[in-house]
A and B are shown apart, each in its own frame.
Chain A
Amino acid sequence: MTNTIIFNIAILAGKLAYFILQITGRQGTALPGKVAIKICPDILGDLTKRCNKIVVITGTNGKTTTNNLINHIIGGKYENLVSNLKGANMIQGVVTSFVVNTKSSYDWGIFEVDEGSIPDVTHFISPDHVALTNFFRDQLDRYGEVENTIKMVYDALKTVDSTIILNGDDPSTVQFNKLSNNKIYYGFNKNQFSKSNHDVAEAIFCKNCGNRLNYEFISYGNIGCYYCENCGSKRPNLNYVAQSIYINDNNYEFDLKINMGNDDKNSLNNDETIEKGFVFKYMGIYNIYNCLAAISLCLSENFDIQFVKNQIENFDYKLGRMETINFPDKNVVLVLSKNPVGLSEVFHAFSYDEEPKSLMFLINDTHADGKDISWIWDADFEQITDIKNIKSFYCSGTRANEAALRLKYAGFDIAKIKIHVSKDEGDFNYPINEMLSENVKSYVIGTFTATPEARKILLSEKAKSEI
């Protein structure tokens, strides 16, 4: 234990920072932790000793959703949780969650951690579980390359004895199979949403022999049932499998196959059970992977499967991840999107909605968003022409012109594009009000800094509309 006096001063200083942020109306998700770490650098190690169990969630896409899902399931059984639910996922954000909610003990600490902060975090703590969502190219001007990110996470996980919960369908994590940790795999069986070709055209090469990988089927991006024709390596046997996925009344329904044995995936054996009728009510096939990560964790911690199933079904999104904001005369759906695979899948999800609608893309280029916005050219904007009944497409944010440019080159009708270049990362009042004046459903897609700003404006407009 660090010097108790310094520890207490650090917590107090963090609380003070939080208090000042609150009374000045700012969000206090990272600064309080930053202040506390400054005073007591190894504070995270001391704080996490107060947790009976610790879960860390990392990966490129789906961290916040998975974190919220796990909180929702575990929070249904346990009262004392500590978590960084608002998505501040650097080490400061993790420390902040303790600073603003100080208790002497917690049943569970559940944290999403940015891939780049994993080495910092594992330096101080050895989580009981680490859940990996996926690895895609994201904000590369910050980390260099996705291979470096994967290696950084791999090296960090070698130093802890956590159980690792892995997306078995993600070929970029195949090297994690070598880790001596206990491992649990989740993934899909072939279903009606499976594709045969890459929609984001990026080849993946076998980590063993360098040959191009083939797929029995692809779920999205590079995620799918992969195998190497040359050396015979293939996706690992899955323990938690979603199958028979279909859409019913805008909800996803799927069956869960559980196989804790190590036999080949197709052979029926005594270890195998199937639980039918899981329901998740938000769009995007990638969300079923997030559900699987949460389900794998909770079932391996011996939560009751009926309870887990109910919690998945009654889960409500918050904080701009496919969150629906209801206005008297229309609904607005807010989605965070910050990399090519994510954005391609968001457009794909919209194509299931044939109602008249307007779309809005808010693209900022602050440091947190990534100063390089060229990734929008890797996203499959071309499928915009498959989305029916788009009345208008609003482009805003600090790089609004380039969103419009991307749409133009994707073959979208430029007469429907409305451009508003923002003066700063939250300057969306004008386009949002124009969008709200149209009596059709709206989808708002925003980058990392744009989404919370848009959410603020939407909630304040909603409050006004209800007076």
Chain B
Amino acid sequence: MKLEIVNMYPDILNLYGDIGNLICIKKRCEWRGIEVDVKDFTIDKELDFQNFDMVLIGGGSDNGQNIISNHILDQRNSLETFIEDEKVLLAICGSHQMFGNYYVNPYNEKIPCLEIFDIETKSRKDRLTGNILISNNLKSNSIFDSVSTHDFNDIIGFENHGGRTYHSYDTLGDVQVGHGNNGEDGKEGMLYKNFIGSYLHGPILSKNPHLADIMIFNALKNKYDIDDIKKSILEINYIDDSIEINAHNNMKQKILKL
């Protein structure tokens, strides 16, 4: 089995270790015997998304976002098709904002966005920063659950954003400790089909292997028969997640103590 992944703007949108999300997906596939092929997509290296199973995009500085903003607008239709086809897409922080209607920067300038979702983001100079704990709304029907050593019902990360994001889609989770989308409504992130948007760095998948596994399973399910997935993966390879579990639980205790 094989997953083909697009690493979008890795040389520009790469703040706060978001490249770790790709490393996590890649390793968790390899440990299960799933082949992974990663292609970089950037301003002078374009690809056709329809040939791929997953897209990962990280956050960037204001400067980085300026550089990609016009370029990503040209990808609007192909990204929308990718999402509507239930392909897996993870967009963190600034790149999540880009999928909305507009982004108002701290100087009150309106930056055009992809207009794929009705999301609005207004940025302020005071940043929402810190460790964050949210519940997990991402429903899993992943067959990996049956052999998984982790049983998390929450998500941990680190947020650092000036943007306040507002929308009425399903959210990734309810904020238990931290700020979330806008610091007001107690919600974090966004879910639509297999699109996940979030402000969480960390990187988000490193201490939340359950999210990585759902993404991998959903990408496989688009492509392969469930029984085949079971046969070829489940019976062969099992991942010992004890380091992940300790990292998650330690951090959770630390956040709840604050």
Interface residues of A (CB under 8 A from B): 137, 140-141, 144-147, 198, 201-203, 205, 210, 212, 371-372, 374-378, 401-402, 404-406, 408-411, 414, 417, 419, 421
A-B contact list, 15 entries, CB within 8 Å: A137-B15, A140-B15, A141-B158, A145-B63, A147-B62, A201-B19, A372-B201, A374-B20, A377-B19, A378-B17, A378-B19, A402-B206, A402-B251, A405-B244, A409-B24
**In the complex, A152 Cα to B246 Cα: how many Å?**
40
- Measured between beta carbons, the chain B residues less than 8 angstroms from A409 are 20, 23-24, 27, 206
- Measured between beta carbons, the chain A residues less than 8 angstroms from B18 are 374, 377
Question: When the two chains form their complex, are residues B63 and A377 in contact, meaning their CB atoms are under 8 A apart?
Answer: no
**In the complex, A352 Cα to B107 Cα: how many Å?**
49
Q: Which residue of B lies closest to A340 (CB)?
A: B17
Question: When the two chains form their complex, are residues B23 and A402 in contact, meaning their CB atoms are under 8 A apart?
Answer: no
Answer whether residue B43 sits at the interface, using C-beta atoms and an 8 A cutoff: yes
Question: When the two chains form their complex, are residues B243 and A405 in contact, meaning their CB atoms are under 8 A apart?
Answer: yes
User: Given contacts A212-B44, A401-B247, A405-B206, are A145 and B16 in contact (CB under 8 A)?
Assistant: no
Q: Which residue of B lies closest to A411 (CB)?
A: B27
The residue that A374 contacts in the complex, of B16, B27, B63, B251, with Cβ under 8 A, is: B16
**In the complex, A137 Cα to B19 Cα: how many Å?**
15
- Measured between beta carbons, the chain A residues less than 8 angstroms from B203 are 374, 377
Interface residues of B (CB under 8 A from A): 10-12, 14-20, 23-24, 27, 42-44, 61-63, 67, 127, 129-131, 158, 160, 201-203, 206-207, 243-244, 246-247, 250-251
Quick one: which of B10, B18, B202, B243 has the most chain A CB within 10 A?
Answer: B243
**In the complex, A376 Cα to B243 Cα: how many Å?**
16
Min Cβ gap A64→B in Å is: 25
Question: When the two chains form their complex, are residues B202 and A401 in contact, meaning their CB atoms are under 8 A apart?
Answer: no
**In the complex, A408 Cα to B15 Cα: how many Å?**
22
Question: When the two chains form their complex, are residues A404 and B201 in contact, meaning their CB atoms are under 8 A apart?
Answer: no
Q: Which residue of B lies closest to A379 (CB)?
A: B17
Min Cβ gap A146→B in Å is: 7
- Measured between beta carbons, the chain A residues less than 8 angstroms from B251 are 401-402
Known contacts A137-B15, A414-B243, then 7 further A-B pairs from the complex at CB < 8 Å, ordered by chain A residue:
A201-B19, A374-B201, A374-B202, A378-B20, A402-B207, A409-B24, A409-B206
Question: Which 8 A-B pairs have CB atoms at the shortest separation, nearest pair first?
Answer: A377-B20, A374-B17, A377-B17, A203-B11, A401-B247, A145-B61, A374-B16, A372-B158
User: Given contacts A140-B160, A374-B203, are A401 and B250 in contact (CB under 8 A)?
Assistant: yes
Q: What does DSSP make chain B's interface, helix, strand, loop or mixed?
A: mixed
- Measured between beta carbons, the chain A residues less than 8 angstroms from B15 are 137, 140, 145
**In the complex, A36 Cα to B160 Cα: how many Å?**
34
User: Given contacts A144-B127, A421-B250, are A377 and B43 in contact (CB under 8 A)?
Assistant: no
Min Cβ gap B178→A in Å is: 12
Question: When the two chains form their complex, are residues A372 and B243 in contact, meaning their CB atoms are under 8 A apart?
Answer: no
A-B contact count (CB 8 A): 93
Min Cβ gap A52→B in Å is: 41
Quick one: which of A375, A376, A402 has the most chain B CB within 10 A?
Answer: A402
User: Given contacts A374-B201, A376-B17, are A202 and B247 in contact (CB under 8 A)?
Assistant: no
Question: When the two chains form their complex, are residues B243 and A140 in contact, meaning their CB atoms are under 8 A apart?
Answer: no
- Measured between beta carbons, the chain B residues less than 8 angstroms from A419 are 243, 246
Question: When the two chains form their complex, are residues A377 and B206 in contact, meaning their CB atoms are under 8 A apart?
Answer: yes
Question: When the two chains form their complex, are residues A201 and B243 in contact, meaning their CB atoms are under 8 A apart?
Answer: no
Min Cβ gap B244→A in Å is: 6
- Measured between beta carbons, the chain B residues less than 8 angstroms from A405 are 206-207, 243-244, 247
Question: When the two chains form their complex, are residues B14 and A201 in contact, meaning their CB atoms are under 8 A apart?
Answer: yes
Question: When the two chains form their complex, are residues A401 and B62 in contact, meaning their CB atoms are under 8 A apart?
Answer: no
Min Cβ gap B70→A in Å is: 11
The residue that B158 contacts in the complex, of A202, A205, A371, A401, with Cβ under 8 A, is: A371
- Measured between beta carbons, the chain A residues less than 8 angstroms from B27 are 408-409, 411
**In the complex, A402 Cα to B43 Cα: how many Å?**
33
- Measured between beta carbons, the chain B residues less than 8 angstroms from A378 are 14, 16-17, 19-20
**In the complex, A377 Cα to B206 Cα: how many Å?**
9
- Measured between beta carbons, the chain B residues less than 8 angstroms from A421 are 250
- Measured between beta carbons, the chain B residues less than 8 angstroms from A372 are 16, 158, 160, 201
Q: Which residue of B lies closest to A404 (CB)?
A: B243
Min Cβ gap A218→B in Å is: 14
User: Given contacts A145-B63, A210-B67, A372-B201, are A140 and B16 in contact (CB under 8 A)?
Assistant: yes
Question: When the two chains form their complex, are residues B250 and A203 in contact, meaning their CB atoms are under 8 A apart?
Answer: no
